[in-house]
Amino acid sequence: MGQDEFLFLLMGLKWTVALSVIGFVCGCVAGLGIALARTSGVPLVERITAGYIAIFQGTPLLMQLFVVYYGLALIGIKVDAWAAVSVGLTLHASAYLGEIWRGAIEAVPRGQTEASKALALGYVSRMKDVVLPQALRISLPATIGFLVQLIKGTSLASIVGFTELTRAGNIISNQIFQPLTVFGIVGILYFVMCCPLTIYGAHLERKFAASVR
């Protein structure tokens, strides 16, 4: 494998990073909405968001990408593959992050909510200043764990036909007939992205577990 091939892989890597960032950032925004709706106390809203989460957690990401990809075209929105994949990853991430943060919001002791109500804080201030900062801290290891899952999930964009790292690997491997070398390098590139996050997540988990004791 020569320099040109490796540069092509790095181009793919760039798109993998871009997809991961878009999916994660948009997913965080939407996921926060899901988590708040899921814990809103309004039975109908809670049921709808619970269903939303169950659908995304009960179906493969690949199918979600397919349905979004062809579904967007169906309702007349003509978008590029990368945009369709971004929408798919965002929806996927919003459901998973919504569920992670729901757990975290519920793990904040009830007394905190009650105390802020007693202090006459409104919903926004109660969430923004009291509950969410604590929930964020509790959820950080799981959130980072999901980020790793999302980065790995972007590889499925290759099946939809978008040239990110895995598809770049496919193309190169078909050109130079060294699939093991190519996919070995592709694997290492993913590993280099994900491993530091995994280690950081485990470190945070240990730290929080120690501080609880």
Partner 1 sequence: MNYTLDFTPVIEGMPNLLTACLGTFMLAISGMLLATVIGIGGVVLRTSKIKLLRWLVIGFVELIRNTPFLVQIFFIYFALPLAGIRLDPTPTAIIALGINGGAYAIEIIRGGVQSISKGQMEAGLALGLHKAQVFRLIILKPALRAIFPSLTSQFVLLTLTTSIASAISAYELTSVSQRIESDSFRSFEVYFTVTAFYLVISWLMMRLFAFFSARYFAYPVK
Q: Tell me: does residue 100 bind partner 1 (CB under 8 A).
A: no
Longest Cα–Cα distance of the chain, Å, equals: 69
Nearest to partner 1 of 120, 180 (CB atom): 180
Q: Binding segment for partner 1 among 2-10, 117-125, 128-136, 183-191 (CB under 8 A)? A: 183-191
Q: Binding segment for partner 1 among 91-99, 109-117, 152-160, 203-211 (CB under 8 A)? A: 152-160
**Is residue 105 packed enough to be buried (19+ CB in 10 Å), middle (13-18) or exposed (0-12)?**
buried
Q: Shortest Cβ distance from residue 14 to partner 1 (Å)?
A: 17
Q: Which of 179, 97, 180 is nearest to 136 (CA)?
A: 97
**What CA–CA distance (Å, rounded) separates 40 from 48?**
12
Among 3, 60, 80, 211, binds partner 1 (CB under 8 A): 60
Answer yes or no: are the C-beta atoms of 65 and 82 closer than 8 Å: no
Q: How many residues at the interface with partner 1, by CB under 8 A?
A: 39
**What CA–CA distance (Å, rounded) separates 20 from 30?**
15
Residues at the contact surface with partner 1, assessed by CB under 8 A: 55, 58-64, 66-67, 70-71, 73-76, 148, 152-156, 158-159, 166, 169-170, 173, 179-180, 183-184, 186-187, 190-191, 194-195, 198
